[in-house]
Each structure stands twice: as C-alpha cells, then as structure tokens.
Chain A
Amino acid sequence: MALITSQQYLDSVKKLKPRVYVGGKWVTNLLDNAVTKSMVMANAAIYDLAQEPEHQGVMVAKSHLTGEPINRNLNVARNIHDLDMRQEMALLTSQTVGTCNYRCVGCDALNALASTTWEMDQTLGTKYNERFNNWLKMAQSKDLAVSGAITDAKGDRKKRPTQQDEQDVYLHLVEKRDDGIVVRGYKVSQSGAIGAHETLVLPGGGLKDDEAAFALSFAVPNGSPGLTYICQYNAYSAEREYFGDEIEELGNPIYGQRETSTMVFDNVFIPWERVFMCGEAKYAGKLVTRFAKAHRMNCGGACKVGFCDVIIGGTMLAAEYIGVEKVPHIQEKIIDMVRLSETSHACAIAAAMRGREEPKGSGVYLPDDLFGNAAKLNIAHGFWEIIKNAGDIGGGLVVTMPRLKDLENPEVGPTLKKVFGAAAPAEKRLKVAKFLQHWSAGLHGAGTWHGAGAPQTQRFMFQVLTDFEKKKKMARKLMGMKEDEAPKAAAKK
C-alpha cells in the first residue's frame, strides 16, 4: 500500500482528530469546517496526482530503503534527477491546486534530516539515522501526509532563546526519560499541519552550545495529546465560512487560500524512536540550512512559479474578456510576468542540476545553495510585480466587483449583467475578477515574501556564498591593474 488514493486519504482524515481551533470554534471534523476542508481537499488532490499515469514520472519515486514505489513527497533525493523531479513536483502541484502542496515542507524537512542524521551518526556515534530511516519506512509504507514545523515564535528578537522571558517562544526540552522526551513551546505559520498524519519538527535556526535544550527534531503524530493547532483566521476564512457550500463564489473554490496554524506543544511526549536530534546544538544550524537549501529551490523557484502560471492565465482571460488582449502595453506586461516567473524557474532547474551529495558518503543530494537562494529572492520581488500587473490588467473590478450570485438577483441581476458585459458575458468577467482578487488582494503576496525565509536571509546567503574577491580580481585583470594598486592609491590620499 505504498501509494494511497485521495479517497483513502480522505477516509483516514475522518479518523484524524487533532485539537483544532478556527476563528472562535473547536473543529471536531476537519471535513465539516469550510476552512479546514479546503486544506484537506488540497492534500487529497496531491494524492490524486500520484495516481495519474501522465504525472507519475514527477509524483512517484522509488524508495531507497525498500525499492517500492512511493509518493515523491516522501522521497529522499539520491541524484540530480530526483532533485529535478522534486522541483517539477512543486511546480505541478501549485499549478493544480493554486495553493500549498501541504506535504512540501515535510518533504524538504525529511531530506535535511536524512543528510544531517547520517552526519551526526558518523561523527557522534548516535543512532539517529537508523531511527529516522525506520520512521521514514513506516511513513512511506502508509503514504502518510507529513508536514514540517520549523519556525519558532521567537519572542524578543534581541534575545537568545535562553534569555526570553517566555521560554515557550522557542520549542524546548522539558524532560528526558528512559522511554522518550517531553517537549513544550510553539511553532508558528505551519502550513497544512492540521490535515497531516504526522509533523516533522526541526529547530528554528542555528544554536550555540549552551542552547542544547532547543536542539530538537522529532516526528509527532497529529493527534498526540497535549498538541493544539490554532488556525489562522482572516477575511478569506470568514468569506469561506459565510458562503458555506456556495464555493463557486470564491476565488479558489475548492482549495482556498493557504491555511496555516500555530502549533502549541503542551508537554508532549515523544518516544525515542521518533527523536532525531536531542541536544546536538552544533548540528541545528546544519539541519536548518539544509532544509532551507531544499526549500528555497522548491518554494521559490517552482511552487510560486506554478502560482504565477495560473495568475498569468487568469490575467490573459481578463484581457480577452474586455477586448484588450492585443493592446501592446498589455502584451508587454504579460511578457514581463512570464519573464519574472520563468527566471525563478530557471534558477530552480539550475539549483537541481548543480546539486550534489551532502555530506559526502551520505547518499543524500541537496540543491545548489546559490541558485536556490536566487530562485527565492527573485520570486519574492517578482511576485509583487506579477500580482501588480494582474491587478492592473484585471482592472478596478478586481476589488470593486459585487458577489457573483448577485447576477442572479431578480432586482439587480439584469442591471449587473448589462454593466459588466463586455467582450464576454458578465458571468465570465466577474468569475475571473474574483480569481484575480484572490491573488492580488489575498494572502499570497506576503506569504511568498516570507515563505522559505524572508528575503533578508537570501541576501545574507548571497553575501556568504558569493566570492566577491574573485570578481574584483577578474575586473582588475581586465583593467590591467595590479592586485594591490587600488588600496595603495587610496592610502596616499
């Protein structure tokens, strides 16, 4: 049963009973609440993709542990082809659901763990890699939906984790016992954790030697007592709840905006077999950096490019519906949207192609860091440009439109059809305007900016990864300038 169907996933979700809070209510069935249902349906669609023969090259991989076919969301990349198919999966899933592949963070987390637990075992003589592989084999055999939890609440940014007034703002160790560990604290902005069977938890960043209590990584089942999910709530959540079954009124009717939650760990017990790091502060930074390396390629250079593809498609339809599709400046803006988007995808492909085994001997392949960061930084800025152009071409209607169902209202409907009829009927114009509203006035702008790390982190990585001295040397050589000529001249002044 290494590949399950969407129906089998949905059947399993009926038995998943995480403690979930959404906008003032406790949710007892994820499929009964309009907001949580949209997240679950997006996951179900990802399971469907792996069943479709035309997508199996991208969505299905061969387990390096068992040789069985598995969903690529649970695959450890073992070569360049795996890396390339991984980023193609991010592209395909975003094009399909127009929101998160909620198994994506888990996939990148498990690749970072495969690499780092191997290294810890080699250096420290621990048994983390063996444990991790046992967990992974189980997850692969059940085709579990696995999310990832990385970001701590972080509290006062001027203070280190041990200096915080409220200790729980960083997830930390409470107790180490013979049979496992007890943890508490918060992880924020966790995409799709509510509809996952399990969550892989990683430290939020690099740690110092005296911060061992925060160097934790483990897999936690979704319904573990002591674990609570407090979901995001916003205008789009309220709108979805308001319309109920009338989902055709919404910008992304089935799959919704992007659903995240704050995970609250209140003294949650984790058996040792599920613990993959406990106290090895020196390796926390490596683990997170490897996660970021994978995630920036996938999130920045492929996932968001998939979003851009559907935004560009919607924008072109909007132009056609008002008869401006051949106007030169409209075409130019659409070309700009493609340029920005495909540049990031090119960076993701380059990151995959320049990927390498890390560390040597582990058998785990990670993307090239510089190109992955370039993919993310480019799309962080490019996405705002793209949704700006979508709003520009879509027109003011994108944010001034009435409800779609108002077109059927006997009193105002006939008038609205006249008002908004153009080169296409009002129904089509309003439908695509609502779609573009979902993107240009929705949550994805800031989401794209911060997802896989805010741009400042990519700028920092550029600083670290770029050999600026080499570039200066090349420039000096071309100018015929000696190595130390410029500094000496400056000193004389």
Chain B
Amino acid sequence: MEIIEVKIGKTGRDTYTGLEGTFANIVECCLRKKALPGFHEKGLIADAELKGKTLTLVLAGKHTQAKLTEMMEIAMPNIGAYPEKGDNASFIIGVKSEK
C-alpha cells in the first residue's frame, strides 16, 4: 500500500492510503489529463508540477484552506485513496490556491 500525504497551506496535513500506483494515477490525472479526480469542470488545475515524489498542484480560482481540504477529501477517494492516520508517507501532494 502507498501512503500519500496531502499538504495544504502551512498547517493542513492529511494522509491517505491506496494500492501501489495510486500516486502514479493522481499524477496521470493532474499532469496529463489536467483533471482533479471527482471534478469534471475544465481548467481547475491551473498548474501541476512533479518533482521526485512530490506533486504540487495549483487550483484555479481563490480557495480557502478549508475549501482546498474539502476538495482533496473528494478527489482522493475518487481515485481509490482513503483517509488513514499514519506517518512515513512515500509521496506528497502539495495543494495551493491560485489566488
């Protein structure tokens, strides 16, 4: 299983687990398809960058930390990653608001 940490702002930290390949799937969606799982409107991904095992996402528009957290709580299970407490994340997704 893969542990993925989602970092939002300075304090937001959530961990998710999924089968191996889940992070690769998220990268595929966000980088290639320019889509956040569970969100079907075009243009939501303003920018996405992969450096090693860290994916940085910039979501179009202005979103509070709470809103970004809520969006990731939807995105992750839609790609087969589920909330789970834990350390030692193998992968990191940093999420920012465009404005």
Contacts and interface: CB of A to CB of B under 8 A. Distances in A.
Nearest to A28: B40
A25 B39 CA distance: 16
Nearest to A198: B80
Contact of B24 (A15, A180, A221): A180
A19 interface: yes
B79 A221 contact: yes
A272 B28 CA distance: 13
A198 B22 CA distance: 14
Contacts of A272: 20-21
Interface in A1-59: 12, 15-19, 26
A226 interface: yes
B25 A180 contact: yes
A165 interface: no
A223 B19 contact: no
> Which of B39, B40, B73 counts the most A-chain CB atoms under 10 A from its CB?
B40
Given A15-B73, A271-B24, A224 B19 contact: no
B35 interface: yes
B50 to A, nearest CB: 12
Interface residues of B, number: 24
Interface string A50-81: 00000000000000000000000000000000
Nearest to B70: A15
A197 B35 contact: no
Contact of A271 (B20, B35, B77, B82): B20
Contacts of B82: 142
Nearest to A134: B19
26 contacts: A12-B77, A15-B38, A15-B78, A17-B38, A18-B78, A19-B40, A134-B19, A134-B20, A138-B19, A179-B28, A180-B21, A198-B80, A221-B37, A223-B38, A223-B79, A224-B37, A224-B79, A225-B37, A269-B25, A271-B19, A271-B21, A271-B22, A272-B21, A273-B20, A273-B21, A274-B19
Interface of B: 1, 18-22, 24-25, 28-29, 32-33, 35, 37-40, 73-74, 77-80, 82
Given A17-B37, A138-B1, A223-B77, 12 more contacts: A16-B38, A16-B77, A16-B78, A17-B78, A134-B19, A179-B21, A180-B28, A223-B78, A225-B33, A269-B25, A269-B32, A272-B21
